[in-house]
Structure formats: C-alpha cells, structure tokens
Amino acid sequence: MLSADEVAIILLSLKVAAASVAFSLPFAIAAALILARLQFPGKALFDAAIHLPLVLPPVVIGYFLLLGFGRNGLLGAFFEQVFGLTFAFRWTGAALAAGIMGFPLMVRAIRLALEAIDPRLESAARTLGANRRRVLASVTLPLALPGIVVGVMLAFARSLGEFGATITFVSNIPGETQTLPLAIYNLTQSPGGDAAVLRLCAISVALSLAALVLSESMTRRMWARQS
C-alpha cells in the first residue's frame, strides 16, 4: 500500500513529465522542421547542439541551467520579472531540466517522420493554392503525427527518469522538486528504506513501460489509418 507521501511523489513526477513535454513540443517541431527541410551553413553544428544533452553529463546541464535560469541568472531574472515565473528550486525548474534532457529524443523522432513524408504531397497542396502555413497544418504535421507521438512518449518516459540535471538545478525538496528518481535516491540513503525503494522502483518501471507500450500502440494505429 502506497503512503500519502509516495502518492504525492508519483503525482509530482507525472506533472513534471507532462509539463516538460508540453513545454518542449513546439520547439521540437520547429527544430525538426529546420533539420528536415532546410539546408544552411552550420546545420551540422545546429544538429550537434540539439543532441548535446544526450552526451553531456546531466550534472553539466543542471549547472548551466542554474547559471542561466537561477534567480541571479539573466534568463531567470527575466522570466521572474516579466512573467512571475521562477525556475530555481521549484517544480517548474524540474520540468525545464527534464524537458531539455528529453528534447533530443523528441526532435529525432519528429525529424525522421518528416523526412519520410513524400515531398510530392506537399508540392501538390501548394499547386492547389495552399500557402506554406496551410500545407504545414493540413498535410505535413498530420502525416508526421505518428513520429510526433513517438517523440512525445519517449520524452515523457525520459522525463520520468531524469535525475542528474534536476538535482543539480532544483535540488531534492520534498513536495516541490522530489520526483521519483530523487525520492528513490533519498530513500537509498535512509536506513530501513528498502521496501519503499522497491515500491517506487516498480512504479517507475511500470510508468515508463506503459508510456513506451502506449507509444507503440498509438503509432501502429496511426500508420494503419494513413496507409
């Protein structure tokens, strides 16, 4: 039986993961469109920068976030003064960290889906009088929807497991930033926490598997409808 604290940790983890995906998705679609459709000097560097969170130690990402989005950071001060939004040591910061760590997975899945679209379909829509925005909304994005779903679910699952950048940027504050990985880490340092660790580990595995299975199922249905 889960305790009230464990339920709160699970709900916070789901909120952080959902917020991270919602925050990342528009930027991921834009980045994927740039990589899939445009040719420009420095494209390889742009691509590498997007995938940097996959190879950098998460602690490095967390430290950079602390410098940029902390209360004294340039971006942190801007968001706090203009929007009243604080990231440092808040759940919003955990969502930001998780979103950045899952961003490359989302971009890659969407980009592959965009590159698989037959360009003749978009050209046909333009010859019928549709402008670029209408082609994007009515042809490109609907055809890329399976890839978008895959990207969203992969990023969601990755966000559920985010640890290094989160603990560096927003610390491990119960009820505010203590997501499942942070709670598991905290319990492993506490005497008699083995039973709770096993419960939270099992829940973490179950949530991640559910996200991946749901992604596969939804993708198959969408491809079947489009074929």
Q: Please write the tens of the pLDDT for every residue from 20-47.
A: 999 999 999 999 999 998 899 999 999 9
CATH code, 4-226: 1.10.3720.10
First to last CA, the chain: 45
- The structural domains of the chain, with segments of one domain joined by +, span 4-226
Q: Within 13 Å of residue 133, how many CA atoms lie on the same side as its CB?
A: 0
Kindly report the CA angle at 56 between 50 and 173, in degrees rounded to 5?
100
Q: Report helix, strand or coil for 216.
A: helix
pLDDT one-digit tens code per residue, 182-217: 999 999 988 887 888 999 999 999 998 888 888 888
pLDDT at 227: 61
Print pLDDT tens along the chain (227 aa).
Answer: 778 888 999 999 999 999 999 999 999 999 999 999 889 999 999 999 999 999 999 999 999 999 999 988 889 999 999 998 899 899 999 999 999 999 999 999 999 999 988 888 888 888 887 788 888 888 899 999 989 999 999 999 999 999 999 999 999 999 899 999 999 999 998 888 788 899 999 999 999 888 888 888 877 777 777 66
Residue 111 near residue 36, CB atoms below 8 Å: yes
Report the distance separating Cα 40 and Cα 24, nearest Å.
23
> pLDDT value at position 226?
66
> Does the pTM exceed 0.85?
yes
